Amino acid sequence: MAAPAGRRAVSNALPGYTSPMCGRYALDAPRSQLCRRFSLDQCVELAPRYNIAPGSEIPVIRQSPAGLRVLHLLRWGLLPQWAKDQSLGTTLINARGESLAAKPAFRDAFRRRRCLIPASGFYEWRAAATQGVTRKQPCYISLKSAETMALGGLWEAWTSPAGDVVRSCCIVTIGANQLLRPIHQRMPLILPPEHWQAWLAAAADQVGMLIQPLPGSELQVWPVSHRVGKATENDPALIEACTGQPQ
């Protein structure tokens, strides 16, 4: 499906801008729609959010010990169980998919606590030259089908010295596909529906083959307003394509 009216797809190659990945995304889907798409047994109430940033509470889908598929809010920024304090979470918003089984910060969660993070789309910044000046142009990436995507994630339950439990998560990333490589070297792990259950519940040695980029043919990209760079901005216009020349 082509980009919706007023949204101009971007596919031209430009030098990559190596910012943290993935650091901003949007979720504009009613609770009822999420329940149907992800076959949820439980789901908290949600409001549309167009500029979700690290450190905030984000919707996360997990499988409960009873086998139920549930959506709760977890803090974005993984806190391993061995972390001394919560400051470590600010640096662990992403986990490289190629090394999940080996890195101490992620390997236990990869074995036992994988999750899905629903998103309407995500943002990335590319280098764009305008009148001889190079700026970082924000772009919005979504599925051509306009369906809510499922980003692969990990979650943890960390207990503070005072006994408080903090449930946190991070987004798994992988090398970018051909469409997104000109924008950034990496992209979130986007899992197709047929792999959701395996990611949530299969043994770790069975899910390595799932850690691969979604084909670029299934995605669409367009430039959006620089307002998205300010985390306090939150309105539907953030995901609309810029008109005329990229702004």
Q: Indicate the pTM of the whole model.
A: 0.88
- For the chain, the domains span 25-239
Active-site residue identified among 22, 139, 169, 242: 22
Active-site residue identified among 124, 139, 156, 170: 124
Please give the residue that has the higher pLDDT: either 1 or 84: 84
Whether 22 is catalytic is: yes
Query: Does position 21 have pLDDT exceeding 50, yes or no?
Result: yes
Architecture of domain 25-239: Alpha-Beta Complex (3.90)
Whether 43 is catalytic is: no
pLDDT > 90 fraction of the chain, expressed in percent and rounded: 79
Assign 222 a pLDDT band (cuts: 50, 70, 90).
very high
Q: What is the average per-residue pLDDT within 190-219?
A: 97
Please give the residue that has the higher pLDDT: either 82 or 19: 82
- What's the chain's average pLDDT? 89
Q: Residue 3's pLDDT is what?
A: 44
Assign 74 a pLDDT band (cuts: 50, 70, 90).
very high
Q: What is the average per-residue pLDDT within 62-88?
A: 95
User: Contacts from 194-203 at CB under 8 Å and sequence distance 24+?
Assistant: 196/38, 196/116, 196/150, 199/114, 199/116, 199/152, 200/61, 200/62, 200/63, 200/69, 200/114, 200/115, 200/116, 201/63
Query: Does position 143 have pLDDT exceeding 70, yes or no?
Result: yes
